[in-house]
Amino acid sequence: MKGSEPAGQERPCHTIGVLTGGGDCPGLNAVIRAVVKTARKFGYQVIGVRNGWKGLVEGDVEPLTDFGVAGILVRGGTILGTSRTNPLKDEDAVQRLLANLARFGIDALVAIGGDDTLTVAGRLHEMGVRVVGVPKTIDNDLSGTDVTFGFDTAVATVTDAIDRLHTTAESHHRIMVLEVMGRHAGWIATTAGIAGGADEILIPEVPFEIDVVCEGLRARRNRGKTFSIVVVAEGARPKEASGFVTSSGKKDEFGHEQLGGIGHLVGAAIESRLGAETRVTVLGHVQRGGSPTARDRVLATRFGVKAVEEIHAGNFGTMVALKGDKIETVPLARAITQKTVDMDLYEMARIFF
């Protein structure tokens, strides 16, 4: 779609706003840097919005210059800060957000985020805001793009953790349970599990029976293997559970439950059923931190460049996406649906259990 205004009445773009929303992930700074550098090429100014949608509601912004983004390519996190603020919860917040866009002369917006941030971006586009989305999430659960940046770095971190758990598991003849991120989709668990040679992988897409899991581990022990590695995505659940297994009971502004707890449940069940010494590691936010891998730096850079090129071309309401080797765009509405694990990949992983 060419802009959100009637044909022939497009406003020229002078200033681009950029924000990062939702959970952080490695590569956000690489996108911000690419936005600033590509904007310079076209003669646009860039305004950085602090802390996601919250910064637009509160008018918390800062100009971003070449100088300001120097050296950030390799840095994890986001120099802009982030939040899980949902402006759509409150009509007054939406009005303040729209007023601040006008106040700071932001003609077009690059919104970098996952499903929540991009859902808000899609709604704002329907209200006439000129926005282009950039997909991020370590969980890799956004459809519309082959992969999100941040995922590769998270997989590398988890694979390293599995490698480390392997040596100590083998020495002590223990079962190691590793809980990793992955709310609705087990991409991290499956991919890192394959890379690290996991002996069991539990993911949200396939509710499990603990007795069947233990049978598999017992069979492995009977084959002479004195240790096992079990990778559990935080959103995995036993067949009989009606919802997520969590220990905190807290929710965020978008109504998402704070996950964490399934690893300990699985570990305790294995220990009691198999009588094997079991230890549980919850990797948590280590997976979201640190410097992006080379692959994530390149993908994030390509996304940032493409987002500004789209603004320059007057294409809004889209999300940049990786399709094969090419960076393309998809309508925001299509991008926001969930992408779950390819069952062929998961079935292949089971060959090694």
| Contact set for ligand F6P, span 19-48 (CB under 6 A) | 23
Residue closer to ligand F6P (CB basis): 182 or 317:
182
Q: Do the strands 15-20 and 45-49 form a parallel or antiparallel pair, or are they unpaired?
A: parallel
Subset of residues 248 to 267 that bind ligand F6P, contact rule: CB under 6 A = 252, 259
**Which of 130, 174, 183, 297 contacts ligand F6P by CB under 6 A?**
183
Q: Residue 178, interface with ligand F6P (CB under 6 A)?
A: no
Binding range to ligand F6P, per CB under 6 A, among 65-73, 119-127, 178-186, 271-279: 178-186
Q: Which of 50/183 has CB closer to ligand F6P?
A: 183
Alpha helices in the chain (DSSP H): 28-42, 53-58, 91-103, 115-126, 151-172, 187-196, 210-222, 262-274, 294-313, 332-335, 343-350
**In the range 192-221, which residues lie near ligand F6P by CB under 6 A?**
none
User: By C-beta, is 139 or 200 nearer to ligand F6P?
Assistant: 139
Phi-psi region of 162 (alpha: psi -120 to 50; beta: other; left: phi over 0): alpha
* Position 245 contacts ligand F6P (CB under 6 A): no
- Work out how close the CB of 244 gets to ligand F6P at its nearest, in angstroms, rounded to a whole number: 9
153 vs 228 by CB, closer to ligand F6P:
153
User: Residue 163 Cβ, how far from ligand F6P at the closest point, in Å?
Assistant: 21
Which window, 47-55, 179-187, 196-204, 224-232, contacts ligand F6P (CB under 6 A)?
Answer: 179-187
| List of residues 6+ apart from 202 with CB closer than 8 A | 186, 189, 208, 213, 230, 231, 232, 233, 236, 262, 266
Instruction: Kindly give the interhelix angle for 151-172 and 294-313, rounded to the nearest 10 degrees.
Output: 160
- Is residue 90 annotated as a catalytic residue, yes or no? no
Beta-bridged to residue 180, according to DSSP, are 233
Residue 181 touching ligand F6P (CB under 6 A): yes
- CB count, 10 Å around CB of 343? 11
Site string for ligand F6P, 273-302 (x = CB under 6 A): ------------------------------
- 3-state secondary structure at position 225: coil
Cα separation, 30 vs 132, whole angstroms: 17
Sign of the alpha-carbon torsion through 148, 348, 186, 232: negative
Backbone φ, ψ for residue 251 (5° rounding): -130, 155
- With beta carbons less than 8 A apart as the criterion, state whether 54 and 113 touch: no
Per the residue annotation, which of 24, 115, 139, 296 is the catalytic one?
139
Size of the site for ligand F6P (CB under 6 A): 10
Q: Do the Cβ atoms of 35 and 5 come closer than 8 Å? A: no
Q: By C-beta, is 200 or 234 nearer to ligand F6P?
A: 234
CB nearer to ligand F6P: give 119 or 137.
Answer: 137
Site for ligand F6P in 132-171 (CB under 6 A): 137-139
Binding site for ligand F6P (CB under 6 A): 23, 137-139, 181-183, 234, 252, 259
Positions marked active-site: 139
